[in-house]
Structure 1
Amino acid sequence: MTPDRALTTAGLALILALGSALARGAPAGGTTIQVQDDRGRGVVLAAPARRAVTLAPHATELVYAAGAGDRLVGTVRGSDYPPAARALPVIGDGTQPDAERVAAARPDLLIAWQPSAAEPLARVMEKLGIPVFYSDPLTLDAIPGAVERMGVLFGTEREARAAAQDMRARLDALKARYASRRPVRVFVQAGLDPIFTLNDASIVSDALRICGGVNVFGQAVVVAPQVTLEGVLAARPEAVLAGVSRPEDTRKNLAAWQAMGLPAARQGHVYGVDADALYRPGPRLIDAAEAICADLDRLR
């Protein structure tokens, strides 16, 4: 970065501090807001957030689901849902957020995901008294609660509670419907060339479990291991599940697995779900779970 574009540390701190003071305002009636984030940290706000920045697409979706999308003043590249999010200013990507752009947004709350990516910026924010909330739902059951906590942070509890109740009702319906169905062995395709999969620590496996699916590599030591074709064939999956960007991607996956001699593919049991809905730990993962359950039930 050239000197004329660079902000000094002092200058950045001043912009952030002034912006935070303007955005926060005075607490109403001296009441503070306290919420525990997904790292177990107590996050305290003097008043409901009015100018927040999200550092992950799923966090953006959670905020909108809580009825607080109009409180977002910045997000990262890839935050494209709901459609209104595409109009938000972009402050970089999730791995390298631009501190100058964050400062220009004058946030009163930063919603982060992975500590390793957010830590440098988070340290600056916390020193200036700007709260940092880490969002990382690990199961489908955690998603409604995540929406409710966003409602508390933004003062939109009524909208958030209604959305969360609807999500819990949908999850309960899936559990009740598929609890006694025959288990189906599933290979989760996270990459095809080379072949990658996900283990049971992934939230994708949690969606499979609700549907009566069994991840054939669920016991792998790492979350996203590379596996061989021989390993996949030996695991004898009855179905393949992959995140896809377009419907034709599923047809390509089916043809590829048929060419590799996978019996499940020969029977047509290769399924695709919208990749963003499947891999983001946000509200649309419940939509993805409903689609997965329907696919596995057709296989049965």
Structure 2
Amino acid sequence: MPRLTAVLTAVLLLAACGESEPTQQPSVVDDLGRQVVAGGTPQRLVSLAPGTTEMLFAAGLGDRLVGVTDADDYPEAVSGIARIQALPLNHEAVVALQPDLVFASDQINDPRDAEALSAVGIPTYFVSVQSIPDLPRGIRALGARFGSADAANAYADSLERTLAELDTRREEFGDTLSTIFLIGDETLFSFGPESYVHDMIAIAGGRSLTADLDTEAPILSEEFVLAAAPDVILTAFDPDPARLLALHPAWSTVPAIRNGRVHMIPADEVLRAGPRIVAGTRSMSEAIQRRSRSR
């Protein structure tokens, strides 16, 4: 019996050694901390948000894009890439492009779309830009995870140099002006807490008056702006002081209106969570600091 037991044990051990373990697919962690099975180095990429598209180009991954949204218009190289409807997402169009990996924005895209794509074997990687430091960090991460580290690091370095220059300008400026950013002039949309726009304003030499609001995407009242009395109003539309006063007559006493410190910042340099928000920060810096010197 002992001999038979030994033989059976040996046979079982040999059989176990011969069994192949399931192959584990390589995975990466996205900006939301999700494990994403990327299947090696993905070559066919789809982006579901314009700012995310710009992040991918900055990271040296633009030549792998096979699909972008119908709202994408930057950089110029997107003109030759297939378009898909992202809001609401056309799942069939994404599947037809046979992507290895889809990139989405946590600010724009619906997590349920990622679940639907996952159900048909297409993974989704979420990109998150909640603050200015997230930009170079996110670009470096994309390059490191998907095989374009040199290009990504070079671009991130250039962004950090620009931000350092703007920070120096702010220190030399030596003032902090109360600032409100408006997305509309009739319905006064603005930015609530945890928005990178507050970082932009701070680096530019301002203090955002909506940073402490409880609402993620606040609609400001006329009375709020009047009581806040901002030194500077920044807008995503062409500011017409006469129109603003016609819409909001009580604002005639608001310092920004009274002193001609209402300035447009190109919408895409603010509303798209991508590398161009550094250019938007420069535009804010020039507007806030130039106008304030005339006080």
Asked whether the two chains share a fold, i.e. TM above 0.5, the reply is yes
Report the alpha carbon displacement of residue 37 of structure 1 after superposing the two structures with TM.
Answer: 1.5
Q: Which residue of 2 aligns with 1:210?
A: 203
What is the DSSP-based 3-state SS (H/G/I as helix, E as strand, rest coil) of the residue aligned with 2:197?
helix
What is the DSSP-based 3-state SS (H/G/I as helix, E as strand, rest coil) of the residue aligned with 1:192?
coil
2:218 to 202, 207, 225: 225
Q: Which residue of 1 aligns with 2:83?
A: 90
Cα distance between partner residues in 2 of 1:173 and 1:32 = 43
Q: Which residue of 1 aligns with 2:228?
A: 235
1:256 corresponds to 2:270: no
Q: Which residue of 2 aligns with 1:161?
A: 153
1:144 to 136, 145, 162: 136
Report the alpha carbon displacement of residue 176 of structure 1 after superposing the two structures with TM.
Answer: 2.8
CA contact (8 A) 2:128 2:134 kept: no
Q: Which residue of 2 aligns with 1:74?
A: 67
Distance change >3 Å, CA 265–CA 197, structure 1 → 2: same
Q: Which residue of 1 aligns with 2:19?
A: none
What is the DSSP-based 3-state SS (H/G/I as helix, E as strand, rest coil) of the residue aligned with 2:135?
helix
In the alignment, structure 1 segments of 5+ residues that lack a partner are 1-29
- Number of residue-to-residue matches in the alignment: 264
Q: Deviations over 1:265-286 (max 9, x none)?
A: 2321001111011111110000
Distance change >3 Å, CA 118–CA 200, structure 1 → 2: closer
In the alignment, structure 2 segments of 5+ residues that lack a partner are 1-22
Report the alpha carbon displacement of residue 243 of structure 1 after superposing the two structures with TM.
Answer: 1.4
2:118 to 122, 126, 139: 126
1:152 maps to amino acid: A
Distance change >3 Å, CA 217–CA 162, structure 1 → 2: same
* Structure 1 moving runs of 4+ over 4 Å: 30-34
Report the alpha carbon displacement of residue 183 of structure 1 after superposing the two structures with TM.
Answer: 0.8
CA contact (8 A) 1:31 1:46 kept: no
Q: Which residue of 2 aligns with 1:112?
A: 104
Shifted more, 268-277 versus 111-120: the winner is 111-120
Q: Deviations over 1:186-228 (max 9, x none)?
A: 1111222122222242211110111221112221110222222
Q: Deviations over 1:95-114 (max 9, x none)?
A: 31111111110100010124
CA contact (8 A) 1:49 1:153 kept: no
Cα distance between partner residues in 2 of 1:129 and 1:67 = 25
1:92 maps to amino acid: Q
Q: Deviations over 1:163-195 (max 9, x none)?
A: 011111111222233146211011111222122
Q: Percent same amino acid at aligned positions?
A: 31
Cα distance between partner residues in 1 of 2:108 and 2:233 = 32
Cα distance between partner residues in 2 of 1:41 and 1:200 = 24
Cα distance between partner residues in 2 of 1:119 and 1:269 = 40
Q: Which has the larger radius of gyration?
A: 2
- TM-score under structure 2 normalisation? 0.82
Q: Deviations over 1:49-70 (max 9, x none)?
A: 2111111111100011112211
Q: Which residue of 2 aligns with 1:185?
A: 178
